[in-house]
């Protein structure tokens, strides 16, 4: 194996243990292209965190076909 292949393997393994993934890492983790990933994320209601990362647990649920439990939004408006 050459050095480039070794680095790719190490990055792939490290992605599996990170709790939050960057969008590029999420693409690799889910084995989807960018537009396919965005379509699936929208379908399952998965959004980035405020820092721009995806939760790995949510991605795992999406890949298994289960629905993701999104906490209800709290309204700041009083009626």
pLDDT tens-digit map of 10-49: 778 888 888 999 998 888 888 889 999 999 999 888 889 9
Residue corresponding to tokens 């980035």? 48
User: In this model, does residue 5 exceed pLDDT 80?
Assistant: yes
Instruction: Report the pLDDT value the prediction gives residue 16, as an integer from 0 to 100.
Output: 80
3-class SS at 32? Answer: coil
**More confident position, 78 or 46:** 46
**More confident position, 12 or 78:** 12
Region 43-72: mean pLDDT is: 84
Region 49-66: mean pLDDT is: 89
Q: Which of 36, 73, 13, 23 is nearest to 63 (CA)?
A: 36
């Amino acid at each position: 194996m050459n050095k480039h292949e070794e680095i790719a393997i190490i990055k792939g393994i490290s992605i599996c243990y990170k709790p939050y993934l960057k969008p590029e890492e999420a693409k690799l983790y889910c084995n989807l292209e960018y537009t396919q990933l965005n379509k699936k994320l929208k379908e399952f209601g998965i959004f980035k965190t405020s820092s721009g990362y995806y939760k790995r647990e949510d991605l795992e649920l999406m890949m298994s076909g289960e629905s993701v439990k999104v906490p209800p939004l709290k309204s700041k408006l009083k009626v």
